[in-house]
Structure 1
Amino acid sequence: MTKPEISDEIWKRAEIDSPCVKICVVHPAARLCTGCLRSIDEIGRWSRMTPEERQTIMAELPARKPLLVQRRGGRQARLDRR
């Protein structure tokens, strides 16, 4: 006896567009996720936003990258400068 084939359509679902890259660390000064560059508020509201709102935010994300200032190297960098 063979199993009846279940259509793949049953298991498909529409995924929400998201810039998430699964690196969820909030930058302490910029208050942005270092992975996707969204604010905590944007991340929290993401699933309730319209597709147009999400697209607008996603278009703005590349411009946020400079807000994440690199660390200068901490203690070791200070010792190396001496």
Structure 2
Amino acid sequence: MNQGTPIADPCINICRMDPDGKFCQGCRRTPLEIGGWPRMTEQQKANVAALIQRRKESDTPRRSHRPATSLGAHMNANLAAPTASALSSGEH
């Protein structure tokens, strides 16, 4: 960390708490971290920034409910060309 560069406020203006009321869904800070930010030292802000990064990394698997390939495979199956028997029977 460059000691001359202040740590920016991590707020991204998506200000709503998660269902458990633990973290802001936008910046991933706790209510205490949000309220205390203006009074924190640069070292305290750096510590909170590291916590935010860990929270984001631990959230990643929960956001994905299925493997990325399953949607594509599902779409490809639905977009497959009709078979000759389907065309002759009027199914399409």
For normalisation by structure 2, the TM-score amounts to 0.52
For 1:53 and 1:16, locate their aligned partners in 2 and report how far apart those are by CA, in whole Å: 10
1:80 matched residue in structure 2:
none
1:43 matched residue in structure 2:
34
Larger RCO: 1 or 2 (CA < 8 Å, sep 6+): 1
1:21 matched residue in structure 2:
12
2:55 to 55, 64, 73: 64
For normalisation by structure 1, the TM-score amounts to 0.58
1:12 matched residue in structure 2:
none
For 1:36 and 1:53, locate their aligned partners in 2 and report how far apart those are by CA, in whole Å: 16
Identical pairs, percent: 35
**8 Å contact from structure 1 (residues 37, 61) kept in 2:** yes
How far is 1:53 from its partner?
A: 0.2
Tell me which amino acid in the other structure corresponds to 1:57.
V
Tell me which amino acid in the other structure corresponds to 1:37.
R
Q: Greater CA radius of gyration, 1 or 2?
A: 2
Confirm whether residue 31 of structure 1 aligns to residue 53 of structure 2: no
The size of the alignment, in residue pairs, is 57
